[in-house]
Amino acid sequence: MKRISDLEYLKLPRYKRLAYKVASFFASIPGAVWGLIKKIGLAIAGLFAGIGREISDIVSTFVHGSAPTKISYVVMGYGNMARGQWLRGILFLLFEIVFIGYMILAGGHWLSMLPSLGKQGPTEVYDWVLDTYTYEYHDNSFKILLYGVLTIFFIVAFIYTWRVNIRQNKIAEQILASGKKLKSGKDDLHSLVDDSFHKTLLALPMTGIIVFTVLPIIFMVLVAFTNYDGTHNGYSNNLFHWVGLDNFNTMLSWTANTRGGTQSYAATFGEVLTWTLIWAFFATFTNYFLGMLVAMAINKKGIRLKKMWRTILVMTIAIPQFISLLYVSKMFAKNGIMNGFLMDLGLIDQAIDFFGDASKPWLARVTVIVINIWIGIPYLMLMATGILMNIPQDLYESARIDGASGWQQYSKITLPYMLFVTGPYLLTSFTGNMNNFNVIFLLTGGAPTNSAASSAAGNVGYTDLLITWLFKITTGPQSQYYLASVVGIMVFVVVALITLIVYSALPSIKNEEDFQ
């Protein structure tokens, strides 16, 4: 695509400018993708180079180091202690002892089981005196996988700490050689509320995130490479095992006649993904514009009771969705209040089956989008209220003096300002809507059902998003955790792609410092 200069751009009529912007956005996508690939390549190359540097540094530190430094290679923290940094030294040593103890007592066992995920399933024993069956459980694939991963985490942490320990020795030697004093334990503690305050602040949140978010995600990604499901639960019936890429092949194959369905998984996935994207688009933008309109209406000069209008709308945020949405879904049932009302008004003479009619999937879909407006407008209304108040009033004043109409003021001042400051919000809201479990689950449960899709994967429906489909697979008749895991990974890939593309095409997000 031909680039044009700013001047040329300004000469273009407005519709052409828009067309140019859209076109340049899409034209930038291949470049962004290519840039991404290059970046990943460079990162990998950098990683190897970095490892090489680290190793050579470790070796040279050992060769040139003093005795305490050399001993520190085996007894962590020895160097620190020998140089009077007792606090650091003891912490290093303690960590090493805990690590070695753990590896001997438990870690080694889990690690050795990891390749097989267990050998001995449960056994049944008959007690003929009591005439009862009892059960003995042996290996537990789930625990092996979990603790195996944990152990690997621990090993990585240990290697990192060991490396830090060595680097500290090197730095300490350099400092001593230059004739300066080393930091004492007291200095270390003080720096935790000052220079290294960020470490103190981040310690707790990051630990939580690593244990309760990173670890589970890694675990679930690994599950995608096993046959973990209801009939292989790894403990009380059959153990589960590694199956390589089988599950991805299943998910991505176009062969019809999947277990309990006539549509291939790939086709089902494509359908659900398409609807998820359409849903996310409309759910985001209908709320965005309508919410803005409502906010402008309430904020308009001369409108009274502003607070009351806002309060009424805000009720939907305050009341838990499992109450309000469940109630609304009952209102839209075939014999619900909604149909009764429409029939009383004489608008329809037959009840509309909003969520049950598989021949009209779009009826259910549009209804869901409309009801979502009910939920989403208040958030946007609140946010827009705040932003609208921040727009400098003199902009409007001067526009009015120039004789700009209301629409011109909106399209020239309000909208661009809103779009500019809410760009990042729109992106997170889009991805948030892709994963909007509650609205779909509580309103329709995915209905109407797609009769061709596989029932083994939990009877996906026409309003199911990827996230609710994933839930259905997990809780479906065969509890196919491995398939849920594959879907989860694909959701990640899709969302990540969208985010990357938008990020690279939206300059305002990148320069966070600009706002400060």
**Footprint (CB under 8 A) of other proteins, residues 103-122:** 122
- In whole angstroms, how close is the CB of 123 to other proteins at the nearest point? 11
354 binds other proteins (CB under 8 A): no
- In whole angstroms, how close is the CB of 102 to other proteins at the nearest point? 16
198 binds other proteins (CB under 8 A): yes
| Residue for token pair 């009209």 | 360
Spatial neighbors of 184 by CB under 8 A, at least 6 apart, are: 84, 85
- In whole angstroms, how close is the CB of 84 to other proteins at the nearest point? 25
d(CA 84, CA 82) in angstroms, rounded, equals 6
d(CA 91, CA 101) in angstroms, rounded, equals 15
Q: Which of residues 244-303 bind other proteins (CB under 8 A)?
A: 256-262, 294, 297-298, 300, 302-303
Q: Among residues 253, 398, 405, 475, which is the contact residue for other proteins, using CB under 8 A?
A: 475
In order, the DSSP letters of 262-288 are SS-HHHHHHHHHHHHHHHHHHHHHHHH
488 binds other proteins (CB under 8 A): yes
Q: Among residues 10, 318, 345, 347, which is the contact residue for other proteins, using CB under 8 A?
A: 318
Q: Among residues 20, 78, 110, 142, which is the contact residue for other proteins, using CB under 8 A?
A: 142
For residue 244, which phi and psi values (nearest 5 degrees)? Answer: 70, -135
Residues in the interface with other proteins (CB under 8 A) total 142
Residue whose CB is less far from other proteins, 19 or 428:
428
In order, the DSSP letters of 106-122 are IIHHHHHHTTTT-S---
Residue whose CB is less far from other proteins, 67 or 308:
308
Q: Which is nearest to 79 in space by CA: 53, 61, 97?
A: 61
Residue whose CB is less far from other proteins, 111 or 358:
358
Q: Which of residues 321-350 bind other proteins (CB under 8 A)?
A: 321-324, 326-328, 330-331, 334-337, 340, 350
d(CA 247, CA 232) in angstroms, rounded, equals 14
Q: What distance lies between CA 185 and its chain's CA centroid?
A: 40
| Residue for token pair 């489909």 | 469
- In whole angstroms, how close is the CB of 66 to other proteins at the nearest point? 28
Residue whose CB is less far from other proteins, 112 or 213:
213
Q: What would the two tokens of residue 412 be?
A: 């020239």
Q: Which is nearest to 383 in space by CA: 345, 424, 444, 338?
A: 424
- In whole angstroms, how close is the CB of 55 to other proteins at the nearest point? 20
User: Residues 444, 334: contact at Cβ < 8 Å?
Assistant: no
Angle between helix 361-390 and helix 265-299 axes, rounded to 10 deg = 40
Q: Which of residues 382-401 bind other proteins (CB under 8 A)?
A: 382-383, 385-387, 390
311 binds other proteins (CB under 8 A): yes
85 binds other proteins (CB under 8 A): no
- What is the signed CA dihedral for 270, 438, 422, 395, rounded to 10 degrees? 130
136 binds other proteins (CB under 8 A): yes
Question: Binding string to other proteins for residues 408 to 437, with x set by CB under 8 A, is what?
Answer: -------------xxxxx--x--x---x-x
Q: Which is nearest to 460 in space by CA: 279, 284, 331, 275?
A: 275
Spatial neighbors of 162 by CB under 8 A, at least 6 apart, are: 76, 96
State the Cα angle at 447 between 443 and 449, rounded to 5°: 170
- What is the signed CA dihedral for 462, 464, 466, 468, rounded to 10 degrees? -160
For residue 196, which phi and psi values (nearest 5 degrees)? Answer: -100, 25
Residue whose CB is less far from other proteins, 58 or 421:
421
233 binds other proteins (CB under 8 A): yes
Q: Which of residues 15-34 bind other proteins (CB under 8 A)?
A: none
- In whole angstroms, how close is the CB of 267 to other proteins at the nearest point? 14
Q: What would the two tokens of residue 80 be?
A: 């620190």
Residue whose CB is less far from other proteins, 78 or 354:
354
Residue whose CB is less far from other proteins, 70 or 143:
143
For residue 226, which phi and psi values (nearest 5 degrees)? Answer: -120, 180
d(CA 347, CA 343) in angstroms, rounded, equals 6
Residue whose CB is less far from other proteins, 11 or 237:
237
Q: Among residues 86, 197, 254, 362, which is the contact residue for other proteins, using CB under 8 A?
A: 197
Residue whose CB is less far from other proteins, 155 or 382:
382
- In whole angstroms, how close is the CB of 5 to other proteins at the nearest point? 28
Q: Among residues 225, 354, 441, 482, which is the contact residue for other proteins, using CB under 8 A?
A: 441
Q: Which of residues 157-196 bind other proteins (CB under 8 A)?
A: 193-195
Residue range at the interface with other proteins (CB under 8 A); choices 107-115, 161-169, 175-183, 479-487: 479-487
Q: Which is nearest to 376 in space by CA: 288, 449, 309, 303?
A: 288
Angle between helix 415-434 and helix 361-390 axes, rounded to 10 deg = 140
Q: Among residues 5, 178, 393, 516, which is the contact residue for other proteins, using CB under 8 A?
A: 516
Q: Among residues 213, 249, 408, 411, which is the contact residue for other proteins, using CB under 8 A?
A: 213
Spatial neighbors of 155 by CB under 8 A, at least 6 apart, are: 107
Residue range at the interface with other proteins (CB under 8 A); choices 1-9, 52-60, 88-96, 199-207: 199-207
Q: Among residues 10, 14, 119, 135, which is the contact residue for other proteins, using CB under 8 A?
A: 135
Residue whose CB is less far from other proteins, 176 or 496:
496
Residue whose CB is less far from other proteins, 6 or 136:
136
